[in-house]
């Protein structure tokens, strides 16, 4: 299934790393008695990462940081495995990935020196394994199948939340409707038959069991995805050009900000053998960093980055702007969230922005179909 | 399952290829970038074992030579996407016959196994080699998202081919062709013989503003220097070679710095910058600098787009 992060290079290995942290492997050796075993840490530097491959399967991987070789690559089905701390081990932070379906387990030890490294780690890993961001079922015709799998009890909002995953999850029906209306620049109350071709009956290919709500609202998931599809590209009209963030994030302004905030940035630096201070000033000027930021910028303005950013704990508004590929909206909301100062002319701008948010005619961009809402 | 069959894109960079050789366990070789074919005499160590040429691939390009059925050439066809970097370098390594060069167990195993097969089956074997793929993929750029860059400017198809001297001829090994292509006869130095063929290609491409890149596989400089240092030190009983020893040590230190630089770059290549970028955006936001920076970036992009449109318009007129 082509999904949120559909890839035009089908054979690339890159996938969504939902979460990653530095950890080594621990091995089990025979202990002092028959029933005990000893956990021995393997000193190799490693990285655990959880990613989703293009076939939507969740992988739990461990690779050696020195060589880049991927040693463990385990496919985890939701609720198949549990990640937990091994409390019995007192001389290091040891964690266990335990499979429920078998007696198998894997042991790892945390190699991240920072104090906060293990904060919420168990929860974050388990969330990543069991609630991957894009674990959405196939689109359209499969709706009934999926709901059946879910016990056939899905109500309309739940089905929608399912359909739209991280994007709209958690909104109730009324919120959704008002969201659609606001996205379409409507101030009028629901129902919205006049201006919008929202289908008031459930369509044939969509024999859905979202009936209780569907009959009362008349919006089918297909309608909604069509609407959102139309809204998706590029945010406001000014951004149809491809904006490169490489310049912005490699600028002296950025380098300076990085320097004064070394504490929060240093843990995320590559390991080059440089001191953190040196790497911090060097890294932002490297072509590798620039490439990363350009990719980031591209993903951001095509709306592909929202769900990923949600994993970084950015707030709803910021993520929503990212989902729309609205660069300035993203910048504004992030600034608000971080308590930064807004430029003076911002207020004025905000007004202008709302006027440009009318839905654009669906352009002939098939790639967008596969992006966020299938 | 997992990533079986998936090969990542490889950057054409001497650091990447040199480390890839190490990953395969090859000894005695390194990869240098060649900026100009004319000056290869002065810039490259001898012998040059082969060249890896990167260019933008276009369907229907005519081969610049005649297909050869020389059975002494090890040639594997490319059967999968994105493997062409590894394909090109391995095709070259398989044909190097020099006691100074050690292929290492991974490649030796592959060669022995695949030697009797036809080019397509050899390619099949290569793509199915877990060990080779692991080395290749250790250069994967980590991304937190699979980008859909359709229509983006960067989605060009780049392709690597190899040039090697075998006997008195220069061959082009292109995994997308059926057979090795004979491109030139060697009179003295094979590099002189291959130069016109490559230049012709470069010329053809630069007319359409297409990027290309040339890498040379040469003897490992550090290894050579260390051997020289060793014999110098042994012969230096009367301290009359002190200068040479000193000189060699400086050279070796220079090589070490270069290797270190490669390692840094490769560490950055492999690094997932996403958490860093998010954190950087947060601190920029906190300092109120994010909106101005984004504003500027957007305006620049618009300006560039405008200039380009203007240019296109002028061209049409």
- Evaluate if residue A123 carries a pLDDT over 70: yes
Q: With helix as H, strand as E and coil as C, how does B171-231 read?
A: EEECCCCCCCEEEEECCCCHHHHHHHHHHHHHHHHHHCCCCEEEEEEEECHHHHHHHHHHH
CB B18 within 8 A of CB B85: no
Q: Do A17 and B144 touch (CB under 8 A)?
A: yes
By three-state DSSP, how is residue B286 classified? helix
Closest residue, chain A, to B145 (C-alpha): A16
- Evaluate if residue B59 carries a pLDDT over 80: no
pLDDT at B253: 94
Q: Specify the DSSP element, H or E, that contains B50.
A: strand B50-56
Is the CB of B3 inside 8 Å of chain A's CB atoms?
yes
Question: ipTM strictly over 0.95?
Answer: no
pLDDT digits (tens, 9 = 90+) for A98-120: 888 777 888 898 887 766 667 78
**Does B211 qualify as catalytic in the annotation?**
no
Higher pLDDT, B210 or B182: B182
| Average confidence (pLDDT) over B275-294 | 89
- Evaluate if residue A301 carries a pLDDT over 50: yes
For the record, the structure tokens of B67 come out as 């297909």
Residues B109, B129: Cα–Cα separation, whole Å: 10
Residues A246, B298: Cα–Cα separation, whole Å: 12
pLDDT at B142: 60
pLDDT at A115: 64
Which has the closest alpha carbon to B22: B93, B73, B115, B76?
Answer: B93
Is the CB of B294 inside 8 Å of chain A's CB atoms?
yes
Chain A partners within 8 Å of B147 (Cβ): 5, 7, 14, 295, 298-299, 304
- Tell me the fold of B14-219: Ubiquitin C-terminal Hydrolase UCH-l3 (3.40.532)
CB A304 within 8 A of CB A330: no
Confidence of residue B296 (pLDDT cuts 50, 70, 90): confident
Confidence of residue A276 (pLDDT cuts 50, 70, 90): confident
Q: Specify the DSSP element, H or E, that contains A308.
A: helix A306-310
In this complex, which of B8, B148, B275 lies closest to A304 when CB atoms are compared? Answer: B148
Q: Specify the DSSP element, H or E, that contains A105.
A: strand A105-110
φ and ψ at A70, to 5 degrees?
-85, 115
| Average confidence (pLDDT) over A191-203 | 37
Confidence of residue B199 (pLDDT cuts 50, 70, 90): confident
For the record, the structure tokens of A60 come out as 């739990």
Q: Do B138 and A253 touch (CB under 8 A)?
A: no
Which has the closest alpha carbon to B300: A251, A107, A31, A227?
Answer: A251
Higher pLDDT, B5 or B139: B139
**Does B84 qualify as catalytic in the annotation?**
yes
Of A151-160, A164-173, A232-241, the poorest mean pLDDT is in A151-160
Closest residue, chain A, to B139 (C-alpha): A68
| Average confidence (pLDDT) over A45-50 | 90
B273, B292, B303: best mutation site toward chain A, by most A Cβ within 10 Å? B273
Confidence of residue B316 (pLDDT cuts 50, 70, 90): low
| Average confidence (pLDDT) over B67-96 | 85
Q: Specify the DSSP element, H or E, that contains B87.
A: helix B84-94
For the record, the structure tokens of A115 come out as 């104090």
Cβ neighbours for A331, distance < 8 A, ≥ 6 positions apart: B285, B290, B291, B293, B294
- Evaluate if residue B256 carries a pLDDT over 90: yes
Residues B125, B79: Cα–Cα separation, whole Å: 10
pLDDT at B217: 93
| Cis amide linkage into residue A191, ω under 30° from 0 | yes
Q: Do A299 and B300 touch (CB under 8 A)?
A: no
pLDDT at B6: 62
Which has the closest alpha carbon to B98: B38, B152, B155, B46?
Answer: B46
Q: What part of B 18-57 touches A (C-beta under 8 Å)?
A: 23
- Evaluate if residue A2 carries a pLDDT over 60: no
Q: Do A292 and B294 touch (CB under 8 A)?
A: no
Q: Do B263 and A273 touch (CB under 8 A)?
A: yes
Tell how far CA A227 is from the center of its chain: 22
Q: Specify the DSSP element, H or E, that contains B67.
A: strand B66-67
| Average confidence (pLDDT) over B42-58 | 82
- Evaluate if residue A129 carries a pLDDT over 60: yes
Higher pLDDT, A13 or B89: B89
The pTM of this model reads 0.57
Is the CB of B278 inside 8 Å of chain A's CB atoms?
yes
For the record, the structure tokens of A204 come out as 């044939």
pLDDT at A253: 83
Q: Is the dihedral of CA A221, A227, A230, A233 positive or negative?
A: negative
Q: Do A244 and B297 touch (CB under 8 A)?
A: yes
Q: Do A298 and B152 touch (CB under 8 A)?
A: yes
Active-site residue identified among B40, B84, B136, B232 = B84
In this complex, which of A67, A239, A253 lies closest to B298 when CB atoms are compared? Answer: A239
Cβ neighbours for A326, distance < 8 A, ≥ 6 positions apart: A235, A236, A239
Question: Chain B: nearest CA to A46, how far in angstroms?
Answer: 13
Closest residue, chain A, to B277 (C-alpha): A293
Which range in A132-136, A175-179, A354-358, B13-17 is most confidently predicted, on average pLDDT?
B13-17
Confidence of residue A190 (pLDDT cuts 50, 70, 90): very low
In this complex, which of B1, B8, B292 lies closest to A13 when CB atoms are compared? Answer: B8
pLDDT at A183: 52
Confidence of residue B250 (pLDDT cuts 50, 70, 90): very high
Higher pLDDT, A280 or A222: A280
CB A21 within 8 A of CB A117: yes
In this complex, which of B138, B265, B297 lies closest to A248 when CB atoms are compared? Answer: B297
> For residue A210, how many C-alpha atoms fall within 13 Å in the half-sphere facing its CB?
27
pLDDT at A90: 73
For the record, the structure tokens of A220 come out as 């089918």
Query: What are the extents of the domains in chain B?
Result: 14-219, 221-270, 277-301
């Amino acid at each position: 299934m082509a999904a949120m992060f559909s890839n035009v290079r089908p054979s690339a290995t890159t996938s969504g790393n939902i979460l990653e942290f530095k950890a080594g492997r621990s091995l089990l050796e025979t202990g002092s008695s028959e029933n005990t075993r000893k956990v021995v840490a393997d000193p190799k530097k490693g990285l655990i990462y959880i990613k989703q491959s293009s076939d939507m399967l969740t992988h739990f991987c461990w690779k050696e940081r020195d060589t880049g070789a991927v040693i463990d690559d385990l496919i985890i089905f939701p609720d198949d495995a549990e990640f937990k701390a091994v409390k019995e081990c007192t001389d290091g932070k040891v964690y266990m990935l335990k499979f429920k379906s078998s007696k198998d387990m894997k042991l790892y030890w945390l190699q991240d020196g920072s104090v906060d490294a293990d904060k919420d780690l168990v929860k974050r890993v388990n969330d990543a394994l069991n609630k991957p961001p894009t674990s959405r079922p196939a689109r359209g015709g499969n709706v009934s199948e999926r709901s059946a799998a879910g016990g056939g009890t899905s109500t309309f909002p739940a089905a929608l939340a399912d359909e739209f995953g991280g994007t709209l999850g958690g909104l109730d029906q009324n919120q959704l409707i008002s969201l659609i209306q606001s996205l379409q620049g409507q101030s009028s109350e629901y129902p919205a038959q006049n201006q919008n071709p929202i289908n008031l009956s459930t369509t044939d290919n969509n024999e859905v069991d979202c009936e209780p709500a569907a009959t009362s609202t008349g919006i089918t998931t297909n309608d909604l995805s069509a609407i959102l599809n139309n809204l998706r590209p590029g945010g406001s009209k000014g951004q149809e050009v491809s904006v490169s963030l490489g310049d912005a994030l490699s600028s002296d302004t950025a380098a300076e900000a990085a320097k004064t905030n070394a504490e929060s940035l240093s843990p995320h630096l590559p390991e080059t053998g440089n001191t953190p201070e040196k790497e911090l000033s060097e890294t932002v000027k490297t072509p590798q960093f620039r490439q990363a930021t350009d990719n980031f910028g591209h993903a951001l303005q095509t709306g592909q980055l929202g769900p990923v950013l949600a994993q970084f704990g950015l707030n709803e508004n910021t993520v929503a702007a990212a989902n729309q590929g609205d660069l300035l909206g993203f910048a504004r909301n992030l600034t608000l969230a971080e308590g930064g100062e807004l430029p003076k002319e911002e207020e004025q701008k905000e007004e202008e922005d709302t006027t440009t948010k009318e839905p654009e005619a669906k352009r002939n961009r098939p790639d967008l179909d596969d992006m966020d809402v299938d | 399952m997992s990533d079986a069959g998936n090969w990542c894109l490889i950057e054409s960079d001497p650091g990447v290829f040199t480390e890839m050789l190490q990953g395969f366990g090859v000894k005695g070789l390194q990869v240098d970038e060649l900026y100009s074919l004319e000056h290869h005499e002065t810039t490259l160590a001898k012998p040059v074992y082969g060249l890896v040429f990167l260019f933008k691939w276009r369907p229907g390009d005519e081969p610049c030579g005649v297909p050869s059925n020389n059975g002494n050439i090890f040639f594997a066809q490319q059967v999968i996407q994105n493997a062409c970097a590894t394909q090109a370098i391995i095709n070259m390594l398989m044909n190097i016959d020099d006691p100074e060069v050690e292929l290492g167990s991974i490649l030796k195993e592959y060669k022995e196994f695949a030697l009797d097969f036809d080019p397509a089956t050899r390619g099949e074997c290569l793509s199915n080699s877990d060990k080779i793929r692991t080395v290749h993929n250790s250069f994967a750029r980590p991304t937190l998202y699979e980008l859909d860059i359709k229509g983006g400017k960067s989605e060009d198809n780049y392709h690597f081919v190899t040039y090697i001297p075998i006997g008195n001829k220069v061959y082009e090994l292109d995994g997308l062709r059926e057979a090795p292509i004979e491109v030139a006869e060697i009179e003295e130095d094979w590099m002189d013989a291959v130069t016109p063929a490559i230049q012709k290609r470069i010329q053809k491409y630069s007319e359409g503003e297409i990027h290309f890149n040339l890498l040379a596989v040469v003897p490992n400089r550090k290894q050579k220097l260390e051997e020289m240092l060793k014999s110098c030190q042994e012969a230096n009983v009367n301290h009359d070679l002190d200068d040479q020893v000193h000189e060699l040590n400086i050279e070796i230190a220079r090589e070490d710095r270069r290797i270190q630089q490669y390692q840094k770059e490769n560490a950055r290549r492999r690094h997932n910058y996403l958490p860093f970028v998010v954190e950087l955006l947060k601190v920029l936001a906190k300092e109120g600098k994010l909106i101005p920076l984004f504003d500027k970036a957007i305006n620049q992009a618009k300006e560039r787009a405008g200039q380009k449109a203007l240019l296109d318009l002028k061209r049409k007129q």
